[in-house]
Amino acid sequence: MPLKAIVDGETIIGPDLSVEEWTTLKSRHKKGLTITMGCCGAPGHLRISTKGTQHFYHAVDTGCNYEQESREHLEIKYQIYRTCKSENWETYVEFPAPDRTWISDVYAIKDGRKVVFEIQISTISPNVLEERDGKYRNEGIESYWLLDNFLERSKDFASWYHSHLKEEDDRLGETIPYIDDSIFETGPENHIFIAKGIRSVGLNAQNQTLFTTNNKEIPLAVWVREVLKGNYQHYLKETAAAYHHKRQLKNLAAPWLIEFREFYQKIIRDATYRKKVDSCYRIFNADKTLRKEKALQKKFDELYAEIDWLGKEYHSCIAESYGLFMWKKIPGKGVTRPFFRLESELKNRKLQECVKMFKQWEASFHSALGNLEREISADKRYF
């Protein structure tokens, strides 16, 4: 149901007419004045919606797609049009491309900037959305899509997003420990923009309000003004940059997190270092002559003390107070696990320093244990 029509060769916007002007036009139409629909050139008529919006509608069997528009679509379109006009933008409704490959709901121009608003109440597939948005993109037009039932379609848009993230993943298919994947989740408007560069917002068509990830209800006029000021586009770009940065941090942290987990296995879970010393100590302790060597006993005591120190160091590094990890309860499992804080390059460097410290200690430990094994072997030839 279009807002505009052509009367006597002039384009008329229904809601712009006063009640008196509308009444006069309706009277003239009943007397034979032709109303031509601007979208397709077919004959049309005048009507007022249940909310009082003056608009036009097609004569029977014209075959035009605008016949499928709902009253909610009409009302939202008019609100956007009215808001753009109030912000001193040159504004058009049902504005067609020169070749008529697209007809925008609302088209606004100011200072060389071209903005289109598309209201999508009926279901639209991700592929069709991408195709239609591409037409605006190719003509240098900044398009914004108001998508009804946004959350019901979020899985489709999320698949775009996850596929896009995989393309950025330097370690595709590899499980990176200590990563909370939930930090990469966001709302549909960000999924779509990050993956495809399409600007969108959630629409509640019945009450004519909008919503985003961070705001459950936004008045339509408020959001339109934010778009016109460039603030909404800035929000989308800022969010996208933050998520790309987190992915980069993850890729950079991945090798260090893998090594950090390996040290957990060797220090805590499997007690690899302690078992190696235990194995050597059993040989030492089984021989009465060796047991009398106080210098050897002291070396064992030092190694055990180092292993105890290492365990404390690892627990210190993974504690929340250290600032590298946060501990979260896993839903449905009743257990708490550590997750690395993907916050900055500084955090990554600090993690790297921890891993390097463990590696340096490990090299020193193997050297000391090797010397001890050789010393016992030289004395008793047990190795």
Q: What is the pLDDT of residue 383?
A: 41
Q: Could you tell me the strand order of the sheet in which 36-37 lies? A: 10-13, 4-7, 36-37
Residue with tokens 């800022």: 238
Terminal Cα-to-Cα distance of the chain (whole angstroms): 92
Q: Which of 249, 228, 229, 231 is nearest to 239 (CA)?
A: 231
Q: How many residues does the chain have?
A: 383
- Cα–Cα distance between 360 and 29 in angstroms, integer? 90
DSSP bridge partners of 212: none
Instruction: Identify whether the C-beta of residue 377 lies closer than 8 Å to the C-beta of residue 383.
Output: yes
Q: What is the pLDDT of residue 1?
A: 66
Strands (E), 255-353: 325-329, 336-340
Q: What is the pLDDT of residue 274?
A: 96
Work out the angle between the directed axes of helices 345-380 and 272-286 (0-180°, nearest 10). 20
| 3-class secondary-structure state, position 347 | helix
Burial of 58 (0-12, 13-18, 19+ CB in 10 A): buried
DSSP 145-197: EEEETTGGGHHHHHHHHHHHHHHH-TTTTPPPTT--GGGG---HHHHHHHHH-
Q: What is the pLDDT of residue 65?
A: 60
What is the pTM for the complete model shown?
0.78
Per-residue pLDDT of the chain (383 residues; tens, 9 = 90+): 688 888 888 887 888 888 888 888 888 888 888 888 877 778 888 888 877 888 888 887 766 765 566 788 888 999 999 999 999 999 999 888 888 888 899 999 999 999 999 999 888 888 889 999 999 999 999 999 999 877 666 677 778 888 877 776 666 567 899 999 888 888 889 989 999 999 999 999 888 999 998 899 999 999 999 999 999 999 999 999 999 899 899 999 999 999 999 999 999 999 999 999 999 999 888 888 888 889 999 999 999 999 999 999 999 999 999 999 999 988 777 789 999 999 999 999 999 999 999 999 999 999 999 999 888 887 654 44
